[in-house]
Every structure is written in C-alpha cells, then in structure tokens.
Amino acid sequence: MSEEEISGLSHVSFVVLGLVAEHPCHGKDINKRIEERGMRSWTAIGRSSIYGVLKNLKKKGLVESWIEEEDNRAVKIYQITIEGKEVLKTQIYNVLSNFVGRNDHNFYTAFAMLPVLSQEEQIEVFTKSLNKIKIHKKELEKMLKHNAHNKLNVRGLFEHPIRILGADIKFLEWVLEEIKKGSGKIGSEA
C-alpha cells in the first residue's frame, strides 16, 4: 500500500499542504518558499503543478480559498482548514515514526514540519523510528555475519546499509537529545 493510499496525500500534496499551514498564501508565495529553501533539490514539484495541487487540496476540504487584490490584480489566497491540520499532523506523525533510515523525501518534508507535533509527540515518533532502525541494523549485522565468507560484492550489500543506519541512529539520538533538552530551537524559519 502506497503512502498516498494510507494518508490520502501524495508527496507533492504533503509539501504544499505543509507550506499552506505556515500561513495563508498564494501559489506564487509557495513557489518562492520552495525555491528559497532549496526544496526543488529533494522534491519533484513543478512550478505550475502547485496550482493543480491546491485545487485538489481544496476539493478534499484540506484548504479553503478566497480572492484578494494584490498589486492591482486578483489573487487566490489559500489557508489550511481544521481537517487539513489534522490530516497534515497525522501524515507528519506517520512519516516520522515509520522512518527506517532510507533516503526518503517524505522524511525530509515531515522533519521540516516538526513544529506541528507537540514535544511529547516528537519524542514518541523519533523513539519509534530509532527503535525500528536499531532492529533493522541488528538484522543486517546478523545477515552480514552469516555471509562473512562471501566476496566483497556480497558483504558490501550488507555493510553499506549498516553504516548508513549507524549514521541515522546517531542523527536521531542527537535530535531526541535536543528535543528533550528543549534547546532544539524548533521552528519554521525560512
């Protein structure tokens, strides 16, 4: 089952809904923030696709819109709805708590939206993720031990993800420590 089937949000919808959640805005503003934050390097969001995504989010009741005048022209302003906030929070929670150490664009998106979760929820999701990664790393280490007699190309298929998971473990332990200290300066700065 894909993540969209579970949450109802594609990756692009997840990103756009998260940006709308920051403050009421129009499509041009969303494009500007995507550019400023370097998000195009880890998302597949085309400039014009944002408007279709906003239309679909509105159709699902996750955002609402109204027309305002800006620079002598009418622009459509979007704002997240209560239902949209709940869907976004659920998506962030699920992505972060199910992160298992892969290069995952949804993890980066959810991490960028961390302030949506309470401190307790942040600790909970990262603890769950950390536990899953540690279990997965141990399984791979066991498999590597079983394959110790094999050639480098076989052993490397276990060694590489083990090392990556080790780095992910260190990162998540650091994140948890920062959250628990309350010194994480968690926010949505551009």
pLDDT, tens digit, 9 for 90 and up, residues 43-58: 778 878 899 999 999 9
* Domain covering 3-97 in this structure, CATH number: 1.10.10.10
Distance of CA 182 to the CA centre of its chain: 21
pLDDT reported for residue 4: 46
Give mean pLDDT, residues 31-37. 87
For the cut 60, the answer to whether the pLDDT of residue 2 exceeds it is no
Burial 60-82 (b: 16+ CB within 10 A, else e): bebbebeeeeeeeeebebbebbe
Q: What is the enclosing helix (H) or strand (E) of 47?
A: none
Model confidence, pTM: 0.74
pLDDT at 151: 84
Question: What pLDDT is recorded for position 40?
Answer: 76
Ranges of each domain in the chain: 3-97, 118-181
For residue range 114-163, what is the model confidence (pLDDT) as tens digits?
999 999 999 999 999 999 999 999 999 998 998 888 888 888 888 998 99
**Alpha-carbon dihedral of residues 160, 168, 138, 178, nearest 10 degrees?**
160
Tell whether the model's pLDDT for residue 102 goes beyond 80: no
Is pLDDT at 91 greater than 90 in this prediction?
Answer: yes
CB burial of residue 15 (10 Å; 0-12, 13-18, 19+)? buried
Please list the residues that pair with 73 across neighbouring strands: 70
The lowest-confidence range among 36-40, 63-67, 74-78, 90-94 is 36-40
Dist. CA 26–CA 32, nearest whole Å:
10
> Residue 111: pLDDT band by 50, 70, 90 thresholds?
very high
